[in-house]
Amino acid sequence: MRRFIALLAPLLITASIAQANILNDTVKPMIVGGKEVDPDVTDVSYIVHFSGGCGGSIIGDKWILTAAHCSSIFRTPLTGGGSDIYAPSRVKLKVKRGHIHPDYKDRASSSDYALVELETPIDFAATGLSKIEIADANFEKDGFIDPGTMLTVYGWGAMNESGFPNPDRIRYVDVPVVSREVANSRQAYNGKIDATMIPAGYAEGGLDSCQGDSGGPLVLKDGPHGYPVQVGIVSWGHGCARKNKYGVYSNIAVGVEWIQKVMRENP
C-alpha cells in the first residue's frame, strides 16, 4: 500500500478526500490501473465515444456495438477517430436508431447488448475510421477465451471509483478472463454471472474498467487469424477494481447471433 501511495503522491495533491478514502478501501487506483493508449502502436480507429459517457465499437459501416444499458445516451454526440475525445478532428457520426437485445432487462442484468444504427454508412477510406472483427458463436467453445486468457479493455471512463479525474485520451488495461465458477462464488458475484457475461479481472483488485467505459470493447489482441477480435462489451461491476469484484462484460460469442440478425434485417 505504501508503495502505491508514493506512486500516487502527485495525483493526491488534486484528489478529493473521497478519492483518498477510495484508495484505502480498494487496492490500487487508477480505466482503473491502466495506461494511456499510444495511438502509434495500438489502433483505436474502431472505438467510438458517446459524449453522454459510454464507449462503443464500429463493427460494420453503419453499425456501432455497445451496451444496452447505455441506451439513454444514444442521442448524445457520437464521435470516432483517434484517442483524444476533445480533438477537433474527430469524426461526428449521426445516429439513426438503437436496437436493444430483446432479453435485456435492466442494469447489471444479462444480455447487455445493443447496436446503434447510423444514418449514413461510414466512409472508412475518407475518415480513417475502421471496424473490428467480433467473436463468432464458437469462440468460447473453441477455447479462445478460456479462464486466464489476457484480454484488453479500452475506454475514456473513470480512473477510479470516485469518478475523478476523467481522461481526455483513451486508456487501456489488460485483464485475465475469470471462470464463471470463481466469479459466481459468494465473495464475488454470488451466482449472478450467466453465459451472456464474461467476468475478467483480478481477485486482488486494482485493475479494471469503470464508469464511463461501458459499451466499450474487450479485445483479444492476438485473435485466431493474427489480428484483434472483440470478444466482450463493458457492462457492469460492483464498484471498480475492488477485491473479488471482477469487471463483467457482455459475451459476444453468445450475442453474435442476435447482432448478425439485426444487421441482416436492416441492410
Burial of 135 (0-12, 13-18, 19+ CB in 10 A): buried
Helices (H), ranges, 212-265: 252-265
CA dihedral in degrees (80, 84, 31, 199; nearest 10)? 20
The answer to whether 93 contacts ligand ARG (rule: CB under 6 A) is no
What residue is closest to ligand ARG based on CB?
237
Residues in binding contact with ligand ARG, number by CB under 6 A: 13
Tell me whether residue 241 or residue 254 sits nearer to ligand ARG (CB atom).
241
Which active-site residues does the annotation give? 69, 112, 214
Distance CA 205, CA 247 (A): 10
The answer to whether 206 contacts ligand ARG (rule: CB under 6 A) is no
The answer to whether 208 contacts ligand ARG (rule: CB under 6 A) is yes
Contacts (CB under 6 A) with ligand ARG, residues 240-259? 240, 247
Give the dihedral sign, CA 217/219/224/227: positive
Q: Beta partners for 155?
A: 171
The answer to whether 112 contacts ligand ARG (rule: CB under 6 A) is no
The answer to whether 162 contacts ligand ARG (rule: CB under 6 A) is no
> For ligand ARG, which residue of 234, 253, 254, 259 counts as binding (CB under 6 A)?
234
> Which residues are at the interface with ligand ARG (CB under 6 A)?
157, 208-214, 234, 236-237, 240, 247
